[in-house]
Amino acid sequence: KNQVEQSPQSLIILEGKNCTLQCNYTVSPFSNLRWYKQDTGRGPVSLTIMTFSENTKSNGRYTATLDADTKQSSLHITASQLSDSASYICVVSPYSNDYKLSFGAGTTVTVRA
């Protein structure tokens, strides 16, 4: 079983609407949790990085939250744009080995006009 589970697997939203992606993880203890955006045919690009002591981190219209007690994180996209269409990947870095990340399978977001 993967140590990082994401939901939903995919979603379609209308331009201008908000959406929230979920990430549950079992990696413990962990050093930090990241959200990456991966456009089709490109490599992942970091959106946010939160340490275990942080609850929220924003990057423009992207806001990530973290509840280390329940081992859950979410990524909220506000006022979606067509360019937000991508896969969003939750990644957890274990405390014991910061080099060996655990990746979720990603949520594919499609923004329609």
Q: Is 46 in the site for other proteins (CB under 8 A)?
A: yes
Place of tokens 């973290």: 66
Shortest approach of other proteins to residue 19 CB, angstroms?
A: 19
Q: Which of 29, 41, 53, 113 binds other proteins (CB under 8 A)?
A: 41
Q: Which residues pair with 58 in a beta bridge?
A: 63
Q: Cα–Cα distance between 2 and 16 in angstroms, integer? A: 33
Q: Is 109 in the site for other proteins (CB under 8 A)?
A: no
Nearer to other proteins, 34 or 71 (CB): 34
Residue type, 2: N
